[in-house]
Amino acid sequence: MIKTIPIFFSLLVIVCTVSASEPPLGMWAWKQTHFDTAKARSEMLDFCEQEGISHIDQHVVINNNIITNVDALKCLIAQAAQRGITVNALRGDKAMFLTDNHESTLNAIETLVAFNRTLPEEAKLLGIKFDVEPYLSAQWKAGVEQRDRVILEYLNCLTRARAYLNTHAPELELAVDVPFWWDNEEYVVQFEGSTERFVHHIQNRVDWIGIMSYRREANKIIRLVEDEFLYASKHGQARSVAPSMETTNIKGKEAHISFGGVPTEQFRVALASLRSTYADNSIIRCVMLHHYDSLRTYLNRD
C-alpha cells in the first residue's frame, strides 16, 4: 500500500531544508566579563541559542605570554562545544601588525597554540581571529608612502602567522576582520612578487575574512562584499567570506551604518534577506553580528 504524505508536512520539510542551507550566524564578544563567571557564560550561550548563533569570536587577553582568565576560557570553550557553538580566540589592536609588534603578536599565537593543546579533542578552539585596524594608527595617516609601508608590514605579519600555524597547528583556522573598502584600486600593492588589492593578498593567506560591511539594507551589504566574494569564487576559496552587521547605537553622521536606534524588525528582515540571498552558497562562511553587548541590548535580551 502506498502511503501519502500530507501536503502541510511536505511544505514543512521544504521550509526546513531551505532554512538549513542558509549561512549560520557568528558574533563578536569583546569583554572578559562575558565569560569570567559561570553565570556570564550561561547567559551568553543561552543568548546564542535563542538567536541561532553558532560561532563566537571571543576576545582573549594575553600578557607576558599568559592568558587572562584561562580557566574561565576553558570552561567557555567546553560549554560552547556541548551546545554546538564554536569559539575563536579574538585578538585586536590597531598596531598589532606593525613591524615593531610582530614578535609579540607571534608570541601570542604560540601561547594560544600551546593553550589549545591542553584542551580535550571534543572542545578545542576553532581558530584565531585578528581584528587589526591599522588605518587608525598615526603611521597610516601620515601619507600614502607611509600607509603603503604599513600595508606591507601587515601582510608580512599575516604571512608569518600563516606559516607558523601551517607548521605547528594546522588544525587551527586563521581569520581576520577587514573593512569593506580595502578592495579599492588605491590599495593595490606588490607583495612577494604578486600585485593585488590589499584585501586579495589577505584572502590568499587566511581561511576566512569577516568584512565590516556595516549598512542597514541587505542589498547594500551584498554590494559591499561583492568584490571579495567574486575573488574567493574565482580562486576556489570555499567558506571564506563573512558579511557583517552592526548593532551598536551610533550617533551622528555614521548612524546609518548600524541598526542601533532603528526598530529590531528592520534588523531581522535585513538579516533574513541576507541569509536567504546566500542560501546554498559555498563561499559564504557565516553572517557576523557586532557585537554581544550591543546585540543583546538591541534585541531586548539583556
Q: What pLDDT is attached to residue 20?
A: 52
User: In whole numbers, what is the pLDDT of the chain averaged over residues?
Assistant: 94
Distance CA 222, CA 241 (A): 11
CATH 3.40.50.300 holds for 23-298: no
Position 21 scores a pLDDT of 92
pLDDT at 283 over 80: yes
The dihedrals phi and psi of 59, each to the nearest 5 degrees, come to: -65, 135
**Whether residue 19 has pLDDT greater than 60:** no
- pLDDT surpasses 70 at 234: yes
What is the domain partition of the chain in residue ranges? 23-298
pLDDT of residue 200: 98
CB neighbours of residue 137 within 10 Å? 18
Place of cell 531581522: 268
Strand-pairing partners, residue 245, are 289
β-sheet bridge partners, residue 243: 211
What pLDDT does residue 300 have? 87
Model confidence at 50, in pLDDT bands (50, 70, 90)?
Answer: very high
Q: How far is CA 200 from CA 4, 142, 234, 257, 298, in A?
A: 52, 24, 11, 24, 34
Per-residue pLDDT, 287: 98
Distance, in Å, from the CA atom of 194 to the CA atom of 61, rounded to the nearest integer, reads 35
- Condensed to tens digits (0 to 9), the pLDDT of residues 82-131 reads 999 999 999 999 999 999 999 999 999 999 999 999 999 999 999 999 99
